[in-house]
């Protein structure tokens, strides 16, 4: 490569990484939106350039819902809401989680032993707060939705609400006060968490959209479990991304390691997608009204699904910094292939039909007898 163009390519790569790290600094996130992977409304196929999505939270969840036996409307809903937890609004606002009332930040004088301090977490931002997007990565509920611990009060609470076992969603709101805006929690003078009942608007307990939000929280949890355990071991109050060297698994650029050749990071992604599929299968077996078919097991049909998921995770790196290959688009194609295979397999193999043709037989015979009398 020509020296100058190599310098330019290096510069572009560095600029991309720097932009991404600054944008995502101190946010809680996992399976971030992937460059130009645009939202396509699964209901009508309309494409929304500028609304970027994640190939895991969006494309793969849609495919796996199909494989788990969900009806098309339910699978579409799961796919959209799994992504909506990060996006807040999609389809030009057709789908949205905003306009809710968020927990108010208590003054530091009340929760920090009378000290007057600035709030550093969530970063004070009236526009975000007024928008009231309840799963936003920028509000006080972000650690609850995007960095949940696997406890009854966190991931367990979202699951119980998604299954309608609790009528309302109870979580916690997190606030930090101090001076270090770059490390707002790790270097906080004072942190404060409080249990809250979350205003989920029209997303009702037990509904398909609620389960879509749970799938998001589950994927985030599993993919960040190493980071979470590093933080827990050091007594940190909640999960977040940080560049503090004591928590290497929590680095703000860790999303760049979500995909690609097998290693500790990509293995976490593989575990996350399998956890999502296990949750979909569990739901499918207990919610007949959302499904049409029985789930296809990972190991069935010579392990097609297990192999396809490995390929999805390990075959392509997150991004190509030289922009020669569009890896997110290749993951999207792989997810579409999985979806198509599952649709064809479950439709052609009578073992997957939830409504077996012979279950109609007694009624058919009865009607025949009546009509021939």
Shortest gap between Cβ of 282 and Zn ion (angstroms)? 21
> Residue 138 or 192: which CB sits closer to Zn ion?
138
Residue 54: strand, helix, or coil:
coil
> Residue 34 or 220: which CB sits closer to Zn ion?
220
Burial (CB count within 10 angstroms: exposed 0-12, middle 13-18, buried 19+), residue 50 = exposed
Query: How far out from the chain centre does Cα 33 lie?
Result: 10
> Residue 88 or 291: which CB sits closer to Zn ion?
88
95-96 and 118-121 strand pairing: unpaired
> Residue 30 or 108: which CB sits closer to Zn ion?
30
Q: What is the DSSP string of 200-250?
A: -TT--TTSHHHHHHHHHHHHHHHHTHHHHHHHHHTT-SS------TT-GGG
Interface mask toward Zn ion for 299-338; x: CB under 5 A:
----------------------------------------
> Residue 147 or 293: which CB sits closer to Zn ion?
147
Q: Which residues, at least 6 apart from 41, have a Cβ–Cβ distance to it below 8 Å? A: 47, 48, 80, 90, 91, 94
> Residue 100 or 146: which CB sits closer to Zn ion?
146
Asked if 190 contacts 177 with a C-beta cutoff of 8 angstroms, the reply is: yes
In degrees to the nearest 10, what's the CA dihedral of 278, 62, 71, 287?
A: 30
Shortest gap between Cβ of 340 and Zn ion (angstroms)? 27
> Residue 52 or 296: which CB sits closer to Zn ion?
52
Give the whole-angstrom CA distance, residue 284 versus residue 352.
12
Give the whole-angstrom CA distance, residue 317 versus residue 265.
12
- By beta-carbon distance, which residue lies closest to Zn ion? 146
Residue in the structure block whose two tokens are 């009942």: 197
Shortest gap between Cβ of 86 and Zn ion (angstroms)? 5
Residues 77-106 that bind Zn ion (CB under 5 A): 86
The sign of the dihedral angle between the CA atoms of 214, 220, 225, 229 is: negative
Give the whole-angstrom CA distance, residue 64 versus residue 50.
25
Shortest gap between Cβ of 171 and Zn ion (angstroms)? 14
Query: Shortest CA distance to 76 belongs to which of 95, 93, 92?
Result: 95
Shortest gap between Cβ of 114 and Zn ion (angstroms)? 35
Give the whole-angstrom CA distance, residue 320 versus residue 327.
7
Shortest gap between Cβ of 348 and Zn ion (angstroms)? 36
Shortest gap between Cβ of 165 and Zn ion (angstroms)? 23
Interface mask toward Zn ion for 203-222; x: CB under 5 A:
-----------------x--
# residues contacting Zn ion (CB under 5 A): 3
Q: Which of 146, 331, 334, 339 binds Zn ion (CB under 5 A)?
A: 146
Residues 15-74 that bind Zn ion (CB under 5 A): none
Query: Is there binding between residue 159 and Zn ion (CB under 5 A)?
Result: no
Residues 216-255 that bind Zn ion (CB under 5 A): 220
> Residue 87 or 208: which CB sits closer to Zn ion?
87
Q: Enter the DSSP assignment of 351.
A: G
Asked if 119 contacts 175 with a C-beta cutoff of 8 angstroms, the reply is: yes
> Residue 146 or 339: which CB sits closer to Zn ion?
146
Shortest gap between Cβ of 371 and Zn ion (angstroms)? 58
Shortest gap between Cβ of 272 and Zn ion (angstroms)? 11
Residues that bind Zn ion (CB under 5 A): 86, 146, 220
């Amino acid at each position: 490569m020509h020296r100058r163009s190599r310098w330019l390519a290096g510069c572009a790569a560095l600029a991309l990484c720097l932009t991404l790290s600054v944008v995502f600094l101190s946010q809680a996130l996992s399976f971030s939106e992937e460059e130009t992977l645009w939202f396509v409304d699964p209901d009508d196929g309309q494409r929304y350039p500028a609304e970027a999505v994640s190939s895991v939270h969006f494309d793969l969840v849609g495919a796996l819902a199909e494989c788990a036996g969900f009806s098309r409307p339910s699978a579409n809903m799961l796919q959209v809401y799994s992504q909506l937890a990060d996006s807040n609004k999609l389809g030009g606002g057709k789908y949205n989680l905003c306009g809710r009332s968020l927990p108010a930040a208590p003054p530091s004088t009340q929760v920090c032993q009378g000290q007057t301090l600035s709030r550093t977490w969530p970063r004070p931002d009236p526009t975000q707060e007024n928008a009231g997007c309840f799963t936003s990565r920028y509000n006080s509920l972000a650690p609850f939705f995007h960095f949940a611990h696997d406890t009854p009060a966190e991931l367990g609470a979202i699951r119980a609400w998604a299954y309608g076992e609790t009528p309302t969603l109870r979580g916690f709101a997190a606030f930090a006060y101090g001076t270090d805006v770059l490390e707002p929690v790790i270097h906080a003078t004072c942190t404060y968490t409080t249990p809250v009942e979350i205003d989920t608007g029209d997303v009702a307990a037990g509904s398909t959209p609620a389960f879509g939000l749970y799938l998001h929280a589950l994927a985030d949890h599993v993919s960040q479990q190493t980071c979470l355990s590093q933080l827990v071991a050091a007594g940190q109050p909640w999960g977040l991304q940080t560049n503090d060297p004591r928590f290497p698994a929590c680095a703000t650029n860790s999303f760049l390691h979500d995909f690609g050749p097998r290693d500790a990071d990509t293995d976490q992604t593989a575990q996350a997608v399998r956890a999502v599929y296990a949750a979909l299968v569990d739901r499918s077996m207990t919610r007949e009204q959302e499904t049409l078919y029985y789930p296809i097991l990972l190991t069935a049909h010579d392990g097609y699904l297990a192999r396809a998921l490995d390929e999805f995770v390990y075959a392509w790196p997150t991004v190509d910094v030289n922009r020669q290959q569009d890896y997110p688009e290749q993951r999207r194609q792989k997810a579409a292939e999985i979806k198509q295979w599952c649709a064809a397999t479950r439709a052609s193999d009578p073992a997957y039909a939830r409504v077996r043709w012979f279950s109609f037989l007694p009624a058919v015979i009865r009607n025949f007898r009546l009509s021939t009398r």
